[in-house]
Structure 1
Amino acid sequence: MEFVRLLLLFFHFVGLAVLIGGFLAQLPAARSAPTRPGTAMLHGALTQLVTGIALVGINQGALDNEVDNVKISVKLGVVLIALALILIGRRRPVDTPVFMTIGALALVNVGVAVFWT
């Protein structure tokens, strides 16, 4: 079961890289005009959501590890807000502050994961 947890963690990191990489790739265009978040950002956020939920399930269920539910709730809320902004931006272009908020939320999620002990 530890292998499954590590595999999920690996894909969780890949989702993070795709989300932030997609954001950074579109950053120059977003500074000058309204921008639609790219498919990479959508898939990165969805990957983070799915693998994060699976990681919590594996840790609490199969591995019987203690999980900080408040921390997980904050991380879930942050990724859901980012995902909502991405989905809104896929329908119509979003202004620079909204686009920057998506990138900031991705970085906040990393900060919560690293610094919240």
Structure 2
Amino acid sequence: MDVLINVFVALHVIGIASLLGGFLTQMKAMGAGTARFTPAMLHGALTMLVTGVALVGLNQADDQPVDNVKIAVKLAVLVVVLGLVYVKRDEERVDKALFGAVGALTTANVFIATLWT
């Protein structure tokens, strides 16, 4: 079971990298007002959602403790990010504040995951 959990953790990190990497590569475009949500950002958010739900289920099945409040907060933040990216995915330009909010929320989700004990 540990190997399966670690595989899903690795996939979860890949999803985070895709979402946050898509944001970071467009920081200059965000300053110019031409940033847009890329398919990699959408797929990264979806990967985070699927692997995160799988991780909760696998950890509970393995009788490992799961902090449900932490998971609920992370899920709420991710649903907001996923909703923003999904709704605005076809727009040629995304507002600076909206694009920045997605980056900030994604970064906040990383800090929630690592610092909340």
Equivalent residue, structure 1, for 2:98: 98
TM-score norm. by structure 2 comes to 0.94
SS of equivalent residue, structure 2 residue 89: helix
Q: CA deviation at 1:35?
A: 3.1
Does the Cα contact within 8 Å between 1:35 and 1:89 map onto a contact in 2? no
Instruction: Provide the secondary structure at the position in 2 that maps to 1:94.
Output: coil
Identity %: 47
State the alpha-carbon separation in 1 of the partners of residues 36 and 23 from structure 2.
11
Contact preservation (8 Å) 1:20, 1:106 = yes
Match of 1:4 in 2: 4
Q: How many residues align?
A: 116
Question: By how many angstroms is 1:34 displaced?
Answer: 4.5
TM-score, scaled relative to structure 1: 0.94
Structure 1's consecutive aligned runs of 4 or more residues displaced over 6 angstroms after TM superposition are none
The match for 2:21 is: 21
Unmatched runs of 5 consecutive residues or more in structure 1: none
What displacement does 1:60 show?
A: 0.5
Could you list the runs of 5+ residues in structure 2 that have no partner in the other structure?
none
